[in-house]
Amino acid sequence: MGKNIGRKGSGILGIYPRKLLFFTLIALIALAIGYYLRYNQYSADALKAVPVESAASGATIYAQVTEDGKITLDGNKSSWTFGLVNDLDELRVVALQNPGDYIEEFNLELALPKNVAYSSDFEILAIHGVDSSRAYAKDSKTIAYTASGVSPYATISIVAKLPKGTISYPFYSKAVERASELEFNYWLVLAGLLPLLTLIFLIAFLAYQMRLHKIDLPDKEISSPPMAIPPALVGALYHQSVGPRELAATLIDLACRKDIYILDRERGFAFGKGKFDSRLLGYEKMLLSKIFRNNLTSERIEIEKRIASHLYSKKMSVVSAGIYAIATRLGYFRVNPSKVHAKYRLIGILALIIGLGGFLATLLTPSLPGASIFLWLGMMVTALIITFTAGNIPLRTEIGKEALSNWLAFKKYLTNPEPIPYTPSVYALFEEYLPYAMVLDCESAWAKRFEEHNFIVPEWFMTDKVGLGLDDFCLSLFPIISYVARGFAQLREPGFE
């Protein structure tokens, strides 16, 4: 019966372009981090080799090793550094590569932080045109490397293997070294355990919260709304969020009260101004100000322009905030649920950014263990789990739970498969409760109860179509309000969903 407007996986909800843009920005931030790391790596690579001018002069190049394993060349910063390899503090670098000119003699002295030169292993590797080369311990703290007859195309590498403990590595380097020693299967298991444990924890946490906030399911139905409150507040209580359904129900409720008219046209739709009752609530006024400017009508193309011209809309954020504020003021929630859910989503988003950054850093930084990429993939999956489950955390108070139980009793009436008995005002009843049926996810079931009666088109729905039945009415109305509600919902600023 009609077109169902679903909160998930149906007409009103889909992938919002602005959410897609948001996650695209996260990816770009991670790419920028990766590019920065890669740029630093390229910059470091440029510092690896000894300057050709220094080598060609024949003067001895002095490489000073600090206690944390970093090395300066003639007092200048370099990217040379020691690493822990096979229980030895090892340096293995290309000292000279393709000098471009013939060098008669190459000399480099490596000054160590401790007296371990005689107990260390060292060598010089020279290829592509070197007459002779030698590495030796000059004294207890100095290793000397020499080469003669170096061709323009030669490559000279130096190696020094010091006893373990000679270098006092910083925490980061120690962590990287320890991580590098881990086997591939360890990373694979860790990548799987991280999201699995997070999922188990969240399921347990949500189950505990559900028990703590358990709703008493009613045994009997009630045939009228338990409270005279706007449909949007019922939706906020039921879904613990303000979404397209709440906005769509508000539009229909405003139409039923003759504050607006909905015009169904062959190629589009429009909204017309009604009486604009002085009893309008603040969020209703704000929503109407988004639809109408100074004209009596608002065409589809005008509404589309207003949606497309904003990345976010302060007015739509105020609409959501207004609904949450009234629901919280009525005692349905301890705190504004959107703020709590946004806090958990923020944790998930930050974890996603860290995961993306770590993923790219692993790809672009050779010193990091390649298998750790699975850890970052696991973190990203974990982040998505946190982000998409945050909205399910129950936050209703005892008053809210009791109120929801009463509304669920009313929902049992709306979804009762028995046809509504005929009365002269039978379709006034359909119109009156339709906004509530929409926020309680049962507008199709509610409409089905009236299918045996001759349908009368509401005064607030204007169309050129003749002989419009209930099915046709639903197929005309629901796409219009769902399209507008979905467009407006995606304009809300982060934290107001």
At residue 5, does pLDDT exceed 70?
no
Per the domain annotation, does 259 fall within a domain?
Answer: yes
CA distance 230 to 246: 10
Name the domain boundary from 168, 188, 222. Answer: 168
Whether the CB-CB separation of 118 and 137 falls below 8 Å is answered with yes
Distances (CA, A) of 421 to 412, 427, 434: 17, 11, 17
Question: Do 61 and 148 reside in the same domain of the chain?
Answer: yes
Name the domain boundary from 168, 188, 221. Answer: 168
For 312, phi then psi, to 5°, come to -140, 155
Per the domain annotation, does 383 fall within a domain?
Answer: no
Whether the CB-CB separation of 60 and 106 falls below 8 Å is answered with no
Rounded to an integer, the average pLDDT of 353-377 is 73
Question: Do 256 and 135 reside in the same domain of the chain?
Answer: no
**Residue pLDDT, tens place only, 216-237:** 778 899 999 999 999 999 999 9
pLDDT for residue 95: 84
For residue 402, count other CB atoms closer than 10 A to its CB.
15
For residue 77, count other CB atoms closer than 10 A to its CB.
11
CA 83 to chain centre: 36
312 or 230: which carries more pLDDT confidence? 230
Question: Do 220 and 325 reside in the same domain of the chain?
Answer: yes
Secondary structure letter of residue 406 according to DSSP: H
pLDDT for residue 446: 95
Q: What is the pTM of this model?
A: 0.62
* Domain residue limits at 243: 17-26+213-335+395-489
State the average pLDDT for the chain: 81
Question: Do 314 and 432 reside in the same domain of the chain?
Answer: yes
CA distance 462 to 470: 14
**Residue pLDDT, tens place only, 239-286:** 988 889 999 999 999 999 999 999 998 888 999 988 877 789 999 999
Name the domain boundary from 168, 199, 224. Answer: 168
Question: Do 64 and 21 reside in the same domain of the chain?
Answer: no
290 or 30: which carries more pLDDT confidence? 290
> pLDDT-derived band of residue 368, with 50, 70 and 90 as boundaries?
low
Question: Do 140 and 65 reside in the same domain of the chain?
Answer: yes
pLDDT for residue 438: 96
487 or 335: which carries more pLDDT confidence? 487
C-alpha torsion sign, points 9, 11, 12, 15: positive
Question: Do 121 and 256 reside in the same domain of the chain?
Answer: no
pLDDT for residue 367: 58
Q: How many domains does the chain have?
A: 2
What does DSSP say about strands 260-265 and 461-463: parallel, antiparallel, or unpaired?
A: parallel
Per the domain annotation, does 236 fall within a domain?
Answer: yes
pLDDT for residue 312: 74
**Residue pLDDT, tens place only, 133-184:** 999 999 999 999 999 998 888 888 889 998 887 888 766 666 666 666 666 6
**Residue pLDDT, tens place only, 278-308:** 789 999 999 998 888 777 888 888 888 888 8
- Kindly report the CATH number assigned to the domain that includes residue 97: 2.60.40
**Residue pLDDT, tens place only, 387-421:** 777 766 767 888 999 999 999 999 999 999 999 99
Rounded to an integer, the average pLDDT of 45-65 is 64
| Residue found by looking up tokens 């360890």 in the block | 186
Q: Helix crossing, 231-239 with 426-439: angle to 10°?
A: 40
> pLDDT-derived band of residue 32, with 50, 70 and 90 as boundaries?
low
Rounded to an integer, the average pLDDT of 359-388 is 74
Cβ neighbours for 444, distance < 8 A, ≥ 6 positions apart: 1, 2, 3, 4, 474
Q: What dihedral do alpha carbons 196, 197, 199, 205 form, nearest 10°?
A: 170
At residue 49, does pLDDT exceed 70?
no
Helices (H), 264-336: 282-291, 300-308, 314-329
| Residue found by looking up tokens 């988003």 in the block | 349
At residue 481, does pLDDT exceed 90?
yes
